[in-house]
Amino acid sequence: MADSPYVARRRVRLAIRRARDGKNFTQSDVAEAMEWSLSKVMRIESGEVTISQNDLRPLLAFLGVKDRAEIESLVVSAKLSKQRAQWWETPQYRDLLTPAIVQLIGLELAAREIQYFYPMVVPGRLQTPAYTRAVFETFAGELSEEAIDARVRMREMRRQSFLDAAEHPEVNLVLDESVLYRQVGGAEVLRHQLEHLLVLIGERRISVRIIPFKEQSPIPMLATYEIVSLVDGTTVLYRESDTLDEIVEDHEKIKRHREIFDRVWQAAYDEPTSAGLIKDHATALS
C-alpha cells in the first residue's frame, strides 16, 4: 500500500502548495505564469485531478524547486498517480458524487488507521445496502433519484472493498447509544445492520465503543467525521453534515478532532460491553 496512487497524488499536490506558499504566490499567479486556467490550478491543489509530468516540471521550476532528487521523486509520484481511472472516478459516479467523497474513497485504500466519529448513524463504509438506502431516502427532496442510486451503489462497493481487502487498517468506531435505537429503515433493517457490525467485530476488522446515555458522558455535539491516517505518515480529516462534506488538511483542526475523538473513546463503554449492547439490541429486534 505504500506506493498507492492516491498517496502519490497527495504527495505531489502538497509539495506544489508548499512551494507556492513559500514563494508567496497566489493560485492566480501560478495560473497566469503557466498560462493555465485558475480552475486547473485549484483542482490540482485540491486533488480533484492529477498533474502530468510535462506540466509538473515547468511548474516546479517556476515555484523555485531546484533539488534534482526532489524533482525526480515528485515526477515519479506524478506518473504513479496517473493510473487508469477507478470505478468511483468514472463519469457515471464522479459526476454524481462530491469531490470530497471521490478523494476519500481513494485515500481509504491507503489508510493504516481510521477513526470514525458517528453520533447519529453507522458509518457509510460499514452500512448494509438496505440501511444505506434508508439513510439516503431522508434526502429525497435534495438529491435526485439518480444521485441516490449512485451513492447507494458507491457505498456498497466501498463496503465490499473493505471486506475483500487482504490488508486491513486499524478501525476504531465511536457510536452514540442512540444509533442502536434509531430504526433507520425499520426494525428488520436495523437488526441486519447491527448483526453486520457484530460480524466485523468478531472478525477483528473493527473496534467499537458506544457513548452511553449517562450524565457524565461527553455529549457528541460535532457532526459526523472520520480521521484517516495514511501509510505515508500524514493524516486527513473527512467531515460531513447533511448533504455537505469536505476534506480537511489543516493540522490544528485535525488535532482538535482527534483530541475530541480520544476523549470520547476513553469515556465510552469498552469494546466487550459495547459489543454486548449491540448484540442485545439486535436480539431484541428479532
Given 67, 83, 99, the domain boundary residue is 83
Neighbours of 166 (CB within 10 A): 5
Is residue 196 located within the same domain as residue 277? Answer: yes
Q: What pLDDT shows up at residue 1? A: 42
Is residue 174 located within the same domain as residue 201? Answer: yes
Residue among 136, 129, 134 at smallest CA distance from 153: 129
CB neighbour list of residue 246: distance below 8 Å, 6 or more residues apart: 100, 238, 239
Q: What pLDDT shows up at residue 64? A: 94
Q: What pLDDT shows up at residue 3? A: 55
User: Residue 151, CB half-sphere, CA atoms under 13 Å: how many?
Assistant: 22
Is residue 138 located within the same domain as residue 229? Answer: yes
The CATH number covering residue 34 comes to 1.10.260.40
Query: In whole angstroms, what is the distance from residue 240 CA to residue 237 CA?
Result: 10
Is residue 108 located within the same domain as residue 138? Answer: yes
Given 83, 115, 133, the domain boundary residue is 83
What is the DSSP secondary-structure string of 126-168? Answer: G--HHHHHHHHHTTTTTS-HHHHHHHHHHHHHHHHHHHH-SS-
Is residue 96 located within the same domain as residue 74? Answer: no
Q: What pLDDT shows up at residue 141? A: 79
The CATH number covering residue 121 comes to 3.30.870.10
Q: What pLDDT shows up at residue 2? A: 44
Is residue 63 located within the same domain as residue 176? Answer: no
Is residue 52 located within the same domain as residue 163? Answer: no
Is residue 101 located within the same domain as residue 65? Answer: no
DSSP designation for 83 = P
Neighbours of 50 (CB within 10 A): 21
Query: In whole angstroms, what is the distance from residue 175 CA to residue 17 CA?
Result: 36
Is residue 274 located within the same domain as residue 211? Answer: yes
Is residue 139 located within the same domain as residue 166? Answer: yes
pTM of the complete model: 0.80
Is residue 223 located within the same domain as residue 132? Answer: yes
Cell triple for 101: 467523497
Given 54, 83, 112, the domain boundary residue is 83
Query: In whole angstroms, what is the distance from residue 273 CA to residue 212 CA?
Result: 11
Query: Where in the sequence is the domain holding 20, given as residue range(s)?
Result: 5-83
Is residue 114 located within the same domain as residue 96? Answer: yes
Tens digit of pLDDT at every position of the chain (286 positions): 445 777 888 889 889 999 999 999 999 999 999 999 999 999 899 877 889 989 999 999 999 999 999 999 999 988 888 776 677 777 777 777 788 888 888 888 889 999 999 888 999 999 999 999 999 888 877 878 888 888 888 889 888 888 887 788 899 999 999 999 999 999 999 999 999 999 999 999 999 999 998 766 666 666 789 999 998 888 999 998 766 889 998 999 999 999 999 999 999 999 999 999 999 999 999 8
How many domains does the chain fold into? 2
